[in-house]
Structure 1
Amino acid sequence: MKRKRKVKKTSFKLIIILLILVFVVIPFTILKMTEDGQYYVEDLSTSEVQASYKHYIFASLKMDTTDSKYTCIKNEDGKVLRLKSGIVNLKTKDVTQNTEYTTDTKETGYVNGNYGADAQYLGTSFNGKKVHFKISGVQAWTDINNVELYLYNDSHILSTYYVYNHSLIHTISTDLFQGNVNSIAIGPAPKFMKEDTIYYSYDGHYFYTNYENLVNDNKVNKDPYYNYYQYIPHRTTSYLNNSVYNAYLDQYGVSDESVLYNQADLFFKIQNKYSINATMMYALALNESGLGLSQYALEYHNLFGHAAIDENPDNANQYSSLAECVKQHAYNFLQQGYLNPNDSRYHGSWFGDKASGINVNY
């Protein structure tokens, strides 16, 4: 008879050691080496910490298993990194600093929270480093340290829309907490919108009667709305006259001080030469020069804020005359620049928003 070979005890010990290494030591070492901070899963309604982790991904998985809409993830500094839904506060920097972002289509852009403080929160990246948000028609990602995340409540002052005298008014929040807003009439109100109703929208195309409906995409209009003045091309022709332009300044009581008063003919001469809409240029000049009263308009003849970048506004271009400024705007900035398909700044010949038009990079 053949004898059965006995497995040496040392072989069993080796196998056990290998198993411990594979299933215990190595995983534990990997976990320790990949720790990326301290994260807390918290219910914001009660301030109760439900769990804590050394890895953001584990905190995120825990958050996904909770039913409460108030659940969030915070880091060791108490900064909210992720919510189930909420708002993004963009006003976290000085007015001279922009917040840069990368769109879902991999284009770069920027916003300034001092001119528009709120955005719709869409989510946080898998590692907790980037925030996904929606504002002015664009969906984009920015560094978590550029923004603050909040659960929406009635005390927050958000950007909204309403109808007044058949006009659509866009009220833009410049501070979520202080209630500072800028209200602008942007054109005739669409027929589906009613007076005495507040509407929410972060693209200007679809509207919602409250923020919860916006989050759940329960929109008022089935078809998208496109504001006429926002999407009319610069290559159209205007036939307004000097009296219409002056009447606009008269209603603000600035006719004696504004450098734009009695300047309609200047814009029409440039329109005839370069085929750039005179009224659109005049409207932009009104906006960028504070109705023709800004220091740069008065001293530099700079009506459009050319080169007056946020980081250094005193870098603004100086022109010999208003005529020279308007000429440079029509030819160099528009014809050869923002309206030129071969220029990197081209996104369409209309004013638009952050998704299309000259406002993407202006």
Structure 2
Amino acid sequence: MLKKITIFLFSIIFILSIGTNTSFANDISNHQMKFELTYFAEKGVILPDAKGNFNPNSAVTRGEFASYIARALELPDSTKYTFSDLKQGTREAQEIQNAAGASILGGYADGTFKPNQKITRQQMAGMLYNALRYLDVPLHQAPLTFKDNNKIDNSFVKAVSTSVYYNIIRGAHTANGVYFNPGDSATKAHAAAYLYRTLEVAKNTDGNQNNNTGNVDSSKYYIGKVTNGVVSKNPTIYTTYEQALSALNASGNLNLIFKGDNIVKMSSGLAYASDTTAKTTSIYEDKTFKKQITYTQLGRELKYNGTSANGDYVIVQLGDVVGYAKPSAVTLIPTDLIDGRDEYYIEDSMLVHRIYNHSKKAYEGKYSVGPAPKFMQSGAKYYSFDGVHFYNRNNSLVGTYFPYFQFASVRLPSSYTASDLEKIIMAELENRQAFGGDQYKNATTKSKLIGLGKTIKSMEETEHINALFILAAAIHESNYGMSTNAQTKNNLFGIQVYDSNESLGEKYATPADSVKAFVQRYMNKRYVPQTAVYPFGAVPGNKTTGINVYYASDPHWGAKIAGHMYRIDAKYGLKDYGKSHIGMVPTGTGSVNTRLEASTNSGIAFTYRQKWTGESKEFGYPVAIVEETIGSDGYVWYKVYSDDPSIAKFVWIRGDLVTVLPKY
């Protein structure tokens, strides 16, 4: 140990003595490998000659490279191996012996090492391979696709393969393809770069890698493929996405483009939200990310529709809307690497959604939406990005189903009275206390839902927001009134609580004040009427239509609320389910007027604005139809609950402007 410290101090003193040498600066400062050369020069790994020059473009010898490794790894002194052609007692001889003692290098059959022989690229790969082993780095292999594979000596194939895996020694890109040139000698600058990459791999490797992304330049592009669940990356570096795309298209058998370690283009697969800073990922209407359509939670599944020609954006589908995401905010998973995904199936005649969190790589629960549609078969699994259009394993559409409570207007009044709601609340709490575990201990006395039946019904009567919807939202957001925000802040709806900081949230004097804020400040001012901030439909909905477009980052919030509503309603008499006929007002090509009477001569009540209706063109503004008539103009007219009761309780819409959904 004393000798190592002495050598280290000597190196620092020596470097300090030449730190202002002009030839030192001129020798390295303008070199392509300036960073790596300077890094090792400052650490005393690569030493200057008598004139203070480093000669970065001169060929490096076997002895010099062995010394670089010994110094960089600070290898312990060893006398395990000696070579007949080394001058004992010299620093170089000792460093070569140290590397041999660490099993990083070996000599020739005649007992020599040949320290002055120029080292070849494959010999260098061999030493670095053994250095990785010494540093306990997993020795993964990558397929070799060089044009001159047959020139690589069999004894170095594994070493070269591992070097390619970790992008340590890369091939030379020519007009005729990529070559490794195994017998060519390398310069001191190359040696510095290869050794630096090796140390960076060791520093950043946790021993659990499952593909060959290795430690690469995160600003550069690479191409590769996935075969039988294994990702392989071509060693060639591309400065721009366009260069990588051109090479990919010319390859014929590759299907991936990487930016650094991240896949930014693939032939097929899924995407998921992966902005770990915001914990939400925004989906934009425009390619410059200025106008947001909606957003979603970290780990949530997206449909991958492609990557732009210049790599500036990824095209994804959330709900039934296709938009643009920043490449840094999503992660792409090739089809062969999909371990799990969201799935739907039938359980006890109910449609159940099992959610997969791609960030955690685990399923994190399930919920029931409502009765299973008739086209589904028991035992089969289905897949959907919007909770309405369902596909089988072959990606064939098998059916479309709009769950009633998810798309029924929240302007519809509930049949449940204040007394009914209070009884429902207490029955739900008793069930949770009995079967829900310790988190619901004393729920029948501690829950912040207790006594809210009258307040909830009063909000329905004065603010025209369905009481069962309010209760379901409170149950969902406050975990039956037992969440930390509910208990400490009387906040039953997660108001002003964000994914990036769940400890935030408004405080209320009473739980009833929280109910009033949810209905008055949020539903009636920000989400439900057409005069609201986010007027996408007066229903719980999904990420294409309804309150869920902007209210919650959870893309399944609307479906979960609908599930609570159906579960409660089914338990207490099905008083609300199917109470109204649902229609959709499509506005993909223009706005639609509502009228005070069934005639175009009648005054306009309000106008449904033009908005996204999804890829299917089916997600307009949902309305609750209560009556149908033939107007004086000969058209069918539908009487529907008004999104804005301050204007009228009911409004009329001409029949040809409404798509009527199947009766429940």
TM-score (norm 1): 0.79
Q: Which residue does 1:234 correspond to in 2?
A: 410
Q: Which residue does 2:317 correspond to in 1?
A: 134
Kept after mapping to 1: 8 A contact 2:386/2:543: no
Aligned counterpart in structure 2 of residue 354 of structure 1, from 543, 546, 549: 543
- Per-residue CA deviations over 1:317-349 (Å, capped at 9, x if unaligned) read 111212222122211211222112122212111
Give 1:48 deviation, angstroms.
5.6
Do residues 267 (structure 1) and 456 (structure 2) align?
yes
1:149-298 equivalence runs, <5 A? 149-153=332-336, 156-175=339-358, 178-210=361-393, 213-214=394-395, 218-221=396-399, 224-240=400-416, 241-242=420-421, 243-253=423-433, 254=440, 255-256=443-444, 257-298=446-487
Write the distance in 2 (CA, Å) between the matches of 1:338 and 1:234: 11
Alignment length (residue pairs): 315
Do residues 331 (structure 1) and 331 (structure 2) align?
no
Aligned counterpart in structure 2 of residue 86 of structure 1, from 256, 259, 269: 269
Q: Which residue does 2:492 correspond to in 1?
A: 303
Amino acid at match of 2:348: N
Give 1:176 deviation, angstroms.
5.6
Give 1:170 deviation, angstroms.
1.1
Write the distance in 2 (CA, Å) between the matches of 1:335 and 1:344: 10
Q: Which residue does 1:54 correspond to in 2?
A: 239
Give 1:155 deviation, angstroms.
5.5
Write the distance in 1 (CA, Å) between the matches of 2:426 and 2:405: 20
Write the distance in 2 (CA, Å) between the matches of 1:38 and 1:313: 36
Give 1:283 deviation, angstroms.
0.5
Kept after mapping to 2: 8 A contact 1:302/1:317: yes
Amino acid at match of 2:268: S
Write the distance in 2 (CA, Å) between the matches of 1:177 and 1:303: 27
Kept after mapping to 2: 8 A contact 1:156/1:177: no
* Structure label with greater radius of gyration: 2
Q: Which residue does 2:632 correspond to in 1?
A: none
Kept after mapping to 1: 8 A contact 2:525/2:533: no
Unpaired stretches in structure 1, ≥5 consecutive residues: 1-35
Give 1:66 deviation, angstroms.
5.5
Larger mean Cα displacement after TM superposition, 42-51 or 307-316: 42-51
Kept after mapping to 2: 8 A contact 1:40/1:59: yes
- Per-residue CA deviations over 1:302-326 (Å, capped at 9, x if unaligned) read 1111112233334311112122221
Q: Which residue does 1:71 correspond to in 2?
A: 255
Kept after mapping to 1: 8 A contact 2:270/2:302: yes
Write the distance in 1 (CA, Å) between the matches of 2:232 and 2:471: 53
Give 1:284 deviation, angstroms.
0.6
Amino acid at match of 2:298: G
Write the distance in 2 (CA, Å) between the matches of 1:83 and 1:302: 44
Larger mean Cα displacement after TM superposition, 307-316 or 45-54: 45-54
Note closer, same or farther for the CA distance 1:65–1:245 as it changes in structure 2 (3 Å cut). Answer: farther
Write the distance in 1 (CA, Å) between the matches of 2:430 and 2:252: 58
Write the distance in 2 (CA, Å) between the matches of 1:188 and 1:261: 29
Write the distance in 2 (CA, Å) between the matches of 1:293 and 1:239: 27
Give 1:249 deviation, angstroms.
3.1
Give 1:104 deviation, angstroms.
6.5
Percent of aligned pairs sharing the same letter:
26
Write the distance in 2 (CA, Å) between the matches of 1:129 and 1:306: 35
Give 1:360 deviation, angstroms.
1.3
Kept after mapping to 2: 8 A contact 1:91/1:174: no
Write the distance in 2 (CA, Å) between the matches of 1:104 and 1:175: 26
Kept after mapping to 2: 8 A contact 1:109/1:360: yes
Write the distance in 1 (CA, Å) between the matches of 2:402 and 2:233: 45
1:307-326 equivalence runs, <5 A? 307-326=496-515
Note closer, same or farther for the CA distance 1:247–1:160 as it changes in structure 2 (3 Å cut). Answer: same
| Structural RMSD (CA) | 2.5
Write the distance in 2 (CA, Å) between the matches of 1:230 and 1:138: 17
Q: Which has the higher contact order (CA 8 A, sep 6+)?
A: 1
Write the distance in 1 (CA, Å) between the matches of 2:424 and 2:319: 30
Kept after mapping to 1: 8 A contact 2:473/2:493: yes
Aligned counterpart in structure 2 of residue 120 of structure 1, from 300, 303, 307: 303
Amino acid at match of 2:269: G
Larger mean Cα displacement after TM superposition, 49-58 or 78-87: 49-58
Structure 2 counterpart SS, 1:248 = helix
Kept after mapping to 2: 8 A contact 1:170/1:186: yes
Write the distance in 2 (CA, Å) between the matches of 1:54 and 1:325: 54
Larger mean Cα displacement after TM superposition, 325-334 or 57-66: 57-66
Kept after mapping to 1: 8 A contact 2:321/2:544: yes
Write the distance in 1 (CA, Å) between the matches of 2:240 and 2:327: 16
Give 1:92 deviation, angstroms.
4.9
Write the distance in 2 (CA, Å) between the matches of 1:155 and 1:84: 14
Write the distance in 2 (CA, Å) between the matches of 1:177 and 1:333: 32
Q: Which residue does 1:33 correspond to in 2?
A: none
Larger mean Cα displacement after TM superposition, 167-176 or 100-109: 100-109
Write the distance in 1 (CA, Å) between the matches of 2:404 and 2:527: 19
- Per-residue CA deviations over 1:259-294 (Å, capped at 9, x if unaligned) read 213432321122112111001011111111111111
